[in-house]
Amino acid sequence: SQQGEEDPQALSIQEGENATMNCSYKTSINNLQWYRQNSGRGLVHLILIRSNEREKHSGRLRVTLDTSKKSSSLLITASRAADTASYFCALPPSGTYKYIFGTGTRLKVLA
Amino acid sequence: NAGVTQTPKFQVLKTGQSMTLQCAQDMNHNSMYWYRQDPGMGLRLIYYSASEGTTDKGEVPNGYNVSRLNKREFSLRLESAAPSQTSVYFCASRRTGLEAFFGQGTRLTVV
């Protein structure tokens, strides 16, 4: 399957703590993208990392990519209650326009 | 700039009825997508269109048809709705290699 597998499926942390979620995949990719979804609304793009990049930052977000292990991680530092959402990785496999999402991690940040 | 617009936002159908979900984007994107999301689950790709005039099956195409009417519009049709098609449907568009933009979703209930 081209789909990314994310873990954990669910994560509950206290406000101020860091949250880490992972995405593993099987195919070769040009880039990997992370999205956030708030309670059943449309997904919002967070960050894109290209296959030749190892790490990327955007505000409190840090994404890493290890193409040898076919895995990526998303770190949210100093989490806030507003970060409560589902997070998905997206994999646009090389040579196709199919755009498949991972299974998602449900993050709950407790105030 | 409206982005991706889906209509309707809510719909209740009786088993066997048909309906068309509409999607339009104003970002001049080539690729458009239809996903469904069942409660507590990730997004599953139904159909996609890499460019105007082309459509391809995704992961779960059975029971659906699509039309890429022009570059802006991509519609999803349920010919004979079944309770198993109760879901939230999302339309998305993207430029090749870049992030996707999502509509607000259509909440469909088939009774």
Contact call for residues A108 and A84 (beta carbons, < 8 A): yes
Contact B105 A98 (CB under 8 A): no
Q: How much is the pLDDT for A3?
A: 67
Q: How much is the pLDDT for A1?
A: 46
Comparing B2 with B53, the larger pLDDT belongs to: B53
Q: pLDDT exceeding 90 applies to what percent of chain A?
A: 71
Q: Using one digit for the tens of pLDDT, what is the confidence trace for A43-69?
A: 999 999 999 999 999 999 999 999 999
- Mean of per-residue pLDDT scores for chain A: 91
Q: Is B46 on the interface with A (CB under 8 A)?
A: no
Contact A30 B97 (CB under 8 A): yes
Q: Is B60 on the interface with A (CB under 8 A)?
A: no
> Does residue A2 have a pLDDT over 60?
no
Q: How many CB atoms lie within 10 A of CB A59?
A: 9
> Closest approach of chain A CAs to the CA of B16, in angstroms?
26
> Closest approach of chain B CAs to the CA of A51, in angstroms?
12
Contact A99 B104 (CB under 8 A): no
Q: CA-to-CA distance for A107 and B13, rounded, in angstroms?
A: 33
For residue A99, give the nearest of B33, B41, B42 by CB distance. B33
Contact call for residues B68 and B32 (beta carbons, < 8 A): yes
For residue A41, give the nearest of B56, B94, B104 by CB distance. B104
Q: Using one digit for the tens of pLDDT, what is the confidence trace for B33-67?
A: 999 999 888 899 999 999 999 999 999 999 999 99
> Does residue A94 have a pLDDT over 70?
no
A98 to chain B: which residues are within 8 Å by CB? 45, 48, 56, 58
Q: Is A95 on the interface with B (CB under 8 A)?
A: no
Q: How much is the pLDDT for A28?
A: 83
> Does residue B1 have a pLDDT over 70?
no
Q: Using one digit for the tens of pLDDT, what is the confidence trace for A9-50?
A: 999 999 999 999 999 998 888 889 999 999 878 899 999 999
Residues 6+ positions from A68 with CB-CB distance below 8 Å = none
Residues 6+ positions from B14 with CB-CB distance below 8 Å = B81, B110, B111
